[in-house]
Structure 1
Amino acid sequence: MTFEIRPFAPDDTTAVVELWETSGLTRPWNDPLKDIERKRAVQPELFLVAVDDARVVGSVMAGYDGHRGWLYYLASVPDRRGEGIAQALVSAAETRLLAMGCPKVQLMVRPDNTGARGFYDAIGYEPFDTWATGKRLIAD
Structure 2
Amino acid sequence: MNAPPAQPVAARAIAPIGDADTAGVISLWQRCGLTRPWNDPAADIALARKGANATVLVGRDGDAIVATAMVGHDGHRGWVYYVATDPEHRGKGHGRAIMDAAEDWLRLAGIEKLQLMVRPDNAGVQAFYQSIGYGEQQRIIYAKWLDGRELTP
| TM-based fold match above 0.5 | yes
Rounded to whole Å, the distance in 1 between the matches of 2:28 and 2:62 is 16
Aligned with 1:31 (options 35, 40, 43): 40
Please report how far the alpha carbon of residue 136 of structure 1 lies from its aligned counterpart in structure 2 after TM superposition: 3.1
| Among candidates 88, 94, 99, match of residue 108 of structure 2 | 99
Deviates more, 1:70-79 or 1:41-50: 41-50
> Which of 11, 16, 36 pairs up with 2:25?
16
Aligned equivalent of 2:130, options 117, 121, 126: 121
Deviations 1:44-74 (A, max 9, x none): 7631000122211110010111111001100
Percent identical among aligned pairs is 44
Aligned equivalents of 2:100, 2:128: Cα separation in 1 = 13
- Which residue does 2:3 correspond to in 1? none
Structure 2 gap ranges (5+): 1-7
Q: Distance in 1 between matches of 2:146 and 2:28?
A: 26
Cα RMSD between the aligned structures?
Answer: 1.7
Gapped runs of 5+ residues in structure 1? none
Residues 62, 69 of structure 1: 8 Å contact kept: yes
User: What is the count of residue pairs matched by the alignment?
Assistant: 139
Shift of 1:100: 1.1
- Matched with 1:136 is 145
1:47 paired with 2:56, answer yes
Q: Distance in 2 between matches of 1:57 and 1:17?
A: 12
Rg larger for? 2
Q: Is the 8 A contact 1:58 1:85 kept in 2?
A: yes
Q: TM-score, normalised by structure 2?
A: 0.85
